[in-house]
Amino acid sequence: MRKPLIVGNWKMNNSTAESVDLAEKLKKTVKDMAGVEVVVAPPFTALGSVRDAIKGSNIKLSAQNVFWEDKGAYTGEVSPLMIRDLDCEYVIIGHSERREYFKESDEIVNKKIKAALRNKLKAIVCVGESLKEREEDKTMQVIESQIRKGLEGILNSELRTTNHEVRLVIAYEPVWAIGTGRNATPSQANEVHAYIRKLLSQIFNEDIASNIKILYGGSVKPSNSAELMSEKEIDGALVGGASLDTDSFAQIVRSACMV
Ligand code: 13P
C-alpha cells in the first residue's frame, strides 16, 4: 500500500518572508492530517528559512531543481550536496518548464537523477506530453521514451532506502494541463499512470516498481483533487498554483487522506 503524497511546487514565487508565512500557515492547517505525506518545494532562496519554519512538523522539504555535479566551477548552479545540507529530502527533476525553457533533455534528466540518488535524495521525476503529442496520439510513446531514457542505468539497489522506502517518485504532468486550468480527466490520468507502472515493472524488480509513487500534476485544485485521488493508479499530486494558497493546498491534502 503506497501512502499518498502531495507536493506543493511553489515555482518561482514568494520572497523569503512570504515563503515562511505560507509554510507557517500550512504547518498549522495540515498538522492533524494523518496518512498522507506532505512536501513543499519553495524556491532555492527560501529553502533554509522554510526548513526552520517547518521544523518539528509533518511537512517535508524539496528543492525544485539540482545540478548533476557535486561541486566545482559551475557558476549559478546548485549541487545535490547543498540541497542535502538544507535538509531537503526530495528534489524535483525534469519539470516540463525546465525541459521547455532550459532545454533539459532526457540525458540531462538522467544525470540529475543519478546525482540526486548518489546523494541520498529522493527524486521526483516529471514526465508528460504536449498538446500536439496528445492530439497526434503519441502520449504513450512520449512517456515511454522519457521514462526509459530518464531512468537508464539506474539500479534497484540505488532506489532502496534503509527504511524500505523508494528514492524515486514519478510525476505525470501533461504539459497542456499545467497552469491552464484544464486538467486531465481522472480516467485519462489513470490510463497513463497504469502505463507508467507497467514500464517501471519492466525496468525495476517488482518490490521496487510496486513501491514507486506516481503523482498526477496539472491544474490540481480542491474541486478536482478528490476525484483524481480516488483513481487506483494515482498516488498523489504535484500541485503548482493551488499550493500557493494555504486553504486550497490543505483541502487537496485532506482529499488525499480520505482515499
Ligand atoms: P499547476 O498546478 O499550476 O497547473 O502546475 C502544475 C505543476 O507544474 C506542478 O509542478
Question: Domain residue spans in the chain?
Answer: 5-257
Q: What percent of the chain has pLDDT over 70?
A: 100
Q: How far is the CA of 157 from the centre of ligand 1 (A)?
A: 31
CB 156 within 8 A of CB 208: yes
Could you say which of 3.40.50.10490, 3.20.20.70, 3.30.300.30, 3.90.45.10 is the CATH number of the domain covering 5-257? 3.20.20.70
- Read off the C-alpha cell for 238: 504535484
Whether 175 lines ligand 1, by a CB cut-off of 6 Å, is no
Asked if residues 227 and 246 have their Cβ atoms less than 8 Å apart, the reply is no
C-alpha cell at 154: 539506474
Cell numbers of 209, please?
516498481
Q: Are 7 and 62 in contact (CB under 8 A)?
A: yes
> Which residue owns the Cα nearest ligand 1 atom 7?
240
pLDDT for residue 79: 98
Q: Whose CA is nearest to atom 2 of ligand 1?
A: 240
* CA–centroid distance, residue 181 to ligand 1 (Å): 10
- Are 176 and 131 in contact by the 8 Å Cβ rule? The answer is yes
User: Using a 6 Å cutoff on CB, does residue 65 contact ligand 1?
Assistant: no
pLDDT string in tens for the chain (259-residue length): 799 999 999 999 999 999 999 999 999 999 989 899 999 999 999 999 999 999 999 999 999 999 999 999 999 999 999 999 999 999 999 999 999 999 999 999 999 999 999 999 999 999 999 999 999 999 999 999 999 999 999 999 999 987 778 999 999 999 999 989 888 899 999 999 999 999 999 999 999 999 999 999 999 999 999 999 999 999 999 999 999 999 999 999 999 987 6
Q: How far apart are CA 176 and CA 138, in angstroms?
A: 14
Q: Which residues contact 245 (CB under 8 A, 6 or more apart)?
A: none
